[in-house]
Structure 1
């Protein structure tokens, strides 16, 4: 498996992967929403605020993950949110998502990012080190429909301590329908 962080040449294939994966698991409406989200993230988010990791095998795109900057007004730590993540339906259950997330988190760690946070299934993300956090300790940029899915991990040797100030995500994610 090859992990590629250069995403521009593969932008449409990445967006189609997200649309197809979420359509298969959540229905056509969610597939359209997440496919459009992937397209907008690629087109509208400045590269200094986003990392994309894709997994490839024999020229086929198997998975993709976005990491985008999350800032806290009163806290200097570097924080990135891990979302969305998709693995092609035919390749799910093989550990591809976990390995891709681990690769991306290692890259962020090497860049000096302090904390990774995500909003997803705690049972899945706990396999790659994420733990539940309270919104009072790590404020979300929008009200959460499912607060139990707000999870994070320290990417340094320092323990995860509360972040100060309101949170701000990249503009494309700043949509209540996504939270």
Structure 2
């Protein structure tokens, strides 16, 4: 399996992966919502505010993880949120997601990103070092519908100290339906 750190002109394949995966697991409405989110992220986010990681096997994209910048008004640390992530339905349970995330987190760490956050299954993300967060440690940009899913980790050798100030996200994520 190979990993890519940018979309490399594969936007349509990436959108299709996310749409199909979320449709299979959550239904057509969620598949449409996430497909649209990914399309908007890829089409409207400034290059310095986004990382698009893909797992590629035999020329096919089998996993994707998109990280975009979160800004905390009174904090200089570089913070990125993973949202969304998908592994092709026929490849789930094979370790593709963990391998992709480990690769992505290493690249972010090497690029000087201090904190990675996501909003999802704490059991899955805990396997790659994410720990539960509360709003005092890291405010979310919009209200969370399932606060237990707010998880993060320090990508430095220092513990994750509270992030300071109001949090804002890229425009494509600034939609209450996603949170």
Shorter chain as denominator, the TM-score bin is over 0.9
Q: TM-score, normalised by structure 2?
A: 0.99
1:162 matched to 2:162? The reply is: yes
Aligned counterparts of 1:99 and 1:169: Cα–Cα separation in 2: 26
Counterpart CA distance in 2 for 1:6 and 1:161 is 30
1:46-85: CA deviation from partner (whole Å, max 9, x where unpaired): 0100000000111111010100000100000000001100
Counterparts of 1:114 and 1:166, CA distance in 2? 17
* 1:164 shift after superposition: 0.7
CA displacement at 1:32 relative to structure 2: 0.4
The one-character-per-residue Cα deviations of 1:10-48 (angstroms, maximum 9, x if unpaired) are 000000000000000000000000011111100000010
- Give SS of 1:76's match: coil
Instruction: Quote the residue 2:137 is aligned against.
Output: 137
Alpha-carbon displacement from aligned partner over 1:117-146 (angstroms, at most 9, x marks no partner):
000000000000000011122100000000
- The CA distance in 1 between the partners of 2:44 and 2:30, in whole Å, is 20
Alignment partner of 1:48 is 2:45: no
Q: Distance in 1 between matches of 2:146 and 2:52?
A: 25
SS in 1 for 2:13: helix
Q: Distance in 1 between matches of 2:31 and 2:8?
A: 21
Question: Could you say what secondary structure the match of 1:177 adopts?
Answer: coil
Q: TM-score, normalised by structure 1?
A: 0.99
| Partner of residue 83, structure 2 | 83
Aligned residues: 179
Cα RMSD for the two superposed structures: 0.6
Which structure has greater helix proportion?
A: 1
- Where 1:144 maps in the other structure, the secondary structure is coil
